[in-house]
Structure 1
Amino acid sequence: MNLSDEQLLTDLSRVITLMRRSFDRAMTEQGASLAQTKLLTCIKAQSGTARAADIAEIMSIAPRTVTEALDGLEREGLIQRTPDKADRRVKRLTLTPAGEAAVAVTEPLRRELSAKMLAALNPSDRAHFHAALQKLLEALADG
């Protein structure tokens, strides 16, 4: 079968879109969307030292987008912003107990959904898929 570049990229995009929708739907039902879980997990990994600018850099997201997402997390009671003791202009991010609970439920669910999705690939498929993805990542890094 001779696939065009366009067909391969369209299929890749469809897989990513469908995966995100599926994960997001299931995770939202458990307390936090996929995007919220990613942000909460990133904040948690920073152990209370995270700033919005740090999160934007780590996740390669525009600072304004991160600020808007953090506003939503704060409104939902999942994070808390506290002034930095050394620089009152800086706000440090921490998870609230509700944020911790959301991560405790949704992060394992995300891993479970990932495993179910990838179970469709046998070990050989997985190895080839991984190799192909590595080649694409290298090409993107170069250019």
Structure 2
Amino acid sequence: MEKTTHADLQEALRSFYVNSQRLLETYCAEQGISFTRIRLMIFIETRGWTRSVDVIEALSLAPRTVTEAIDALEKDGLACRSPDPADRRAKRVSLTPKGEKILSEFEPIRNSFAGDLFSVLSTEAERTLTSLVKKLNDRIGEIEHKYISR
């Protein structure tokens, strides 16, 4: 059996991410939902509120893209901005009740997709995969300073 290289592992992870996100985006579009928008809303919801700078950093998006996305959520009544008491120059972004409702309606779609996707794995394989990906994510945090000058 031929040994897997680190490049093979990186490509497998990249390919999985790109293909799963593309399929989910297409599936969501057929349901009349933008997964990109939902992803931003999930990020906001899990924190209760966030700042644009946090979104930029966590989701690796351009500042203009984030501003436009938040503007669109606000225009559609899905999110609102309020002053950040800790930094008067910043605004906190949080979901409105309408935004929370959209997310709760999306949850069964997300769960169905994940169920279909991971149905090829046994429970033990799911646990192992989760553990391995967590270990890789932890390692990224450990070596980040080596490759990124700040």
Measured against the shorter chain, the TM-score band is 0.7 to 0.9
- Structure 2 regions of 5+ residues with no counterpart? 144-150
1:80 corresponds to 2:56: no
Deviation at 1:20, TM superposition (A): 0.4
**What does 1:1-143 correspond to in 2, within 5 Å?**
1-2=1-2, 3-47=4-48, 49-56=49-56, 59=58, 61=60, 64=63, 65-82=65-82, 84=83, 90-143=90-143
In the alignment, the residues of structure 2 paired with residue 5 and residue 72 of structure 1 have an alpha-carbon distance, to the nearest angstrom, of 40
Contact 1:79/1:94 (<8 A) preserved: yes
Q: Deviations over 1:107-141 (max 9, x none)?
A: 33212211221111112322332333233223322
TM-score (norm 1): 0.73
**C-alpha distance 139-26 of structure 1, shift in aligned 2 (>3 A):** same
Residue type of the alignment partner of 2:41: L
**C-alpha distance 39-6 of structure 1, shift in aligned 2 (>3 A):** same
Q: What's the secondary structure of 1:19's corresponding residue? A: helix
Percent of residue pairs bearing the same amino acid type = 29
**C-alpha distance 91-118 of structure 1, shift in aligned 2 (>3 A):** same
Contact 1:51/1:90 (<8 A) preserved: yes
- Structure 1 regions of 5+ residues with no counterpart? none
Contact 1:37/1:107 (<8 A) preserved: no
| Structure of greater relative contact order (alpha carbons < 8 Å, 6+ residues apart) | 1
Backbone CA RMSD of aligned residues: 2.9
Q: Deviations over 1:36-63 (max 9, x none)?
A: 112212333444x543334445x35457
In the alignment, the residues of structure 2 paired with residue 29 and residue 95 of structure 1 have an alpha-carbon distance, to the nearest angstrom, of 24
Contact 2:52/2:67 (<8 A) preserved: yes
The 10-residue stretch of structure 1 (89-98 or 132-141) with the greater mean CA deviation from structure 2: 89-98
How many residue pairs match? The answer is 140
Residue type of the alignment partner of 1:21: R
In the alignment, the residues of structure 1 paired with residue 6 and residue 84 of structure 2 have an alpha-carbon distance, to the nearest angstrom, of 53
Q: What's the secondary structure of 2:11's corresponding residue? A: helix
TM-score (norm 2): 0.70
Deviation at 1:97, TM superposition (A): 4.7
